[in-house]
Amino acid sequence: MAEAQANDRRSLEVLEAQFDALFDRIPGLYGVLFSTADGDPVSTRFNADDMQRERLAAMSSSLVALGETMAKGAHQQACDYVIVQSGDGYIVSLRIGKRLLLSAFASKDTNLGMLLSSCQGTAEAISAKLRRREASNNKGRTGNGQDR
């Protein structure tokens, strides 16, 4: 149990390390949400106090699932991301592996290409770090089992 909690803390640190980089790279960004594919918030940073992380996490999950279902129904490959554009700005939601989602919230003055590219790069970096961490955890377990 303690090992699982330590792994969760380290995974959360990997996610939160990306906040500053995203906010530095994307002018107009005012929120980042990491959530589970099931719609539970994992970690957030919002510039506004009144953003409802639980609701946004659930809606992000539904939105990405709907995009994936639409792509499949249209005989297309898997949905890579979903963009919502409103008069006030953009929301980009995409998967990080199978279990996590990244959603970014930006003003209308934000360059959409930069927002999408930065989110994709962040998702790839996080996915790679989590895969390496999981591989090293599995390797450590295998090594410990062989030593006995």
Give per-residue pLDDT as tens, 44-68.
Answer: 999 988 899 999 999 999 999 999 9
pLDDT in tens, 96-108: 988 899 999 999 9
Neighbours of 65 (CB within 10 A): 16
| Within a domain: 51 | yes
| Nearest alpha carbon to residue 32 among 139, 104, 106 | 104
Contact 34, 102 (CB under 8 A): yes
Give a yes or no: residue 128 inside a domain: yes
Whether residue 147 is contained in a domain is answered as no
Instruction: Extract the tokens encoding 50.
Output: 């009144």
Quick check: is 49 in a domain? yes
Q: Between β-strands 100-107 and 89-96, what pairing exists: parallel, antiparallel or unpaired?
A: antiparallel
Alpha carbon distance 77, 18 (integer Å): 28
| Overall number of domains in the chain | 1
- 110 lies in some domain: yes
Proportion of the chain above pLDDT 70, given as a percent: 86
Tokens of 102: 């990244």
Residue 148 domain-assigned? Answer: no
Is residue 25 in some structural domain? Answer: yes
Q: Is 99 inside any structural domain? A: yes
CATH number at residue 90: 3.30.450.30
Q: Give all strands of the β-sheet with 81-86 in edge-to-edge order.
A: 41-46, 29-36, 100-107, 89-96, 81-86
Residue 137 is part of which domain span?
Answer: 2-142
According to the model, what pLDDT value does residue 148 have?
A: 40
Cα separation, 10 vs 133, in Å, equals 9
How far apart CA 126 and CA 124 sit, in angstroms, is 6
Mean pLDDT of 113-124: 95
Q: What's the whole-model pTM score? A: 0.84
